[in-house]
Amino acid sequence: MDVLSDAIAAMRTGRPSSSRLRVNSPWCYRFDRYDGAGFHVLLHGTGWLVLDDGEPTYLASGDIVLLPRGTAHVLSDTPRADNSVPFDSRVSDDPLGDTEFLCGKYRLDHTRMHPALAELPDVVHVPARARRHGQLSSAIELLTIELAEARPGREAVITGLLDLLLTYLIRAWLDDNDHDGWPRALRNRYVAAALAALHDKPDAPWRVEDLAAHVGVSRATLARKFTALTGQSPMAYLTWWRMTTAAGLLRTTDRPLAAVARQVGYSSPFAFSHAFKRHFGVTPGRYRAQGDTTRQKEADSVP
């Protein structure tokens, strides 16, 4: 099993969206806090990313920024945000503009954020001059082409490319920060194998000694390495992953509670409900109902 793919899929709650815009100076757009993640690609020109609290980030042509927590910010042609106006995807495009950027966002449920993704900073900046991630550049190039042309299947292609872009951006951060924590855990032979086993079979009656035997290391060594790199014990992580998987099933399927419980390793709905409420603060039924209400509100808000 692929832990990163599982981590992204567990948070996904809807389709991503994007828009491409060409502007001429002066320009200064405010992006409100978003319940998901946002990104910007500066295709041509230069600009600045300005957070409400923090140093402005200079953006050169080809730079990419990911805001994994949907943090409020300003995108501007100067490091000041005094004259910002709310960004609207329907802002008129200036064909003579000297700056062109691609903006997008992903609908994500941060209550199900994987601890590996929780280590991401508020801004992930991937400068073009330092970029060594060829697939990321290719995805941006393809996305730029698709946004400029109205061809059959355009929406399906754009959605797929946006998903690729998110994965490649997170990969880039993991590759560039592999000295400690979760980036290192995903590269450690034994910890990575243990994580893959827990993701592959969350319903199995795992014990630390069983997991250690499965990956070919002693119980003490696995427990020590796993805890040091992930910040929690193997069994604590298993419980977290079971609850996160169950939350996704409750929000995206109509499977009976007993079936969900079995799929995540609980022999009875009662035991599962008790563990779920302890983790999320609400019963599984209430959690599912809250998701139905949220989806209805989102559907009603679509013009």
pLDDT tens per residue across all 303 residues of the chain: 589 999 999 888 888 888 888 898 899 999 999 889 999 999 999 999 999 888 899 999 989 999 999 999 999 999 988 888 888 766 777 878 889 998 999 999 888 899 999 999 999 999 887 666 678 888 888 888 888 777 888 888 888 888 989 999 998 898 888 788 899 999 999 999 999 999 999 999 999 999 999 999 999 999 999 999 999 999 999 999 999 999 999 988 999 999 999 999 999 999 999 999 999 999 999 999 987 666 545 544 444
Q: How many residues does the chain have?
A: 303
Strands lying side by side in the sheet with 99-107:
17-23, 99-107, 36-44, 64-67, 124-126
Structure tokens at 176: 């560039």
Q: Which two tokens stand for residue 302?
A: 């679509």
- Give the separation between CA 296 and CA 300, rounded to whole angstroms: 6
The candidate with the shortest Cα–Cα distance to 40, out of 110, 121, 104, 114, is: 104
**Ranges of CATH 2.60.120.280 domains, the chain:** 3-176
Q: Supply 203's token pair.
A: 């319903």
Order across the sheet with 73-76: list the strands.
Answer: 57-59, 47-51, 73-76, 28-31, 85-86
List the structure tokens of 111: 């209550």
- Residue given tokens 């450690």 in the structure block: 188
Multiple choice CATH, 3-176, 3.40.50.970, 2.40.50.140, 3.90.105.20, 2.60.120.280: 2.60.120.280
CATH fold for domain 188-296: Arc Repressor Mutant, subunit A (1.10.10)
Which residues fall within 8 angstroms of residue 51, CB to CB, at 6 or more apart?
Answer: 71, 72, 73, 122, 123
State the alpha helices, DSSP H only, in 54-187.
115-118, 134-148, 154-176, 181-185
Q: State phi, psi for 133 to the nearest 5 degrees.
A: -115, 90
What CA–CA distances, in Å, run from 277 to 183, 201, 203, 241?
30, 22, 19, 15
CA distance 267 to 275: 12
Spatial separation of the C-alpha atoms in residues 237 and 208, rounded to whole Å: 11
Annotate 224-263 with b (16+ C-beta within 10 A) or e (fewer): ebbeebbeeebeebbbbbbbbbbbbbbbeeeeebeebbbb
Task: For CATH 1.10.10.60, list the domain ranges present in the chain.
Answer: 188-296
CA distance 161 to 137: 12
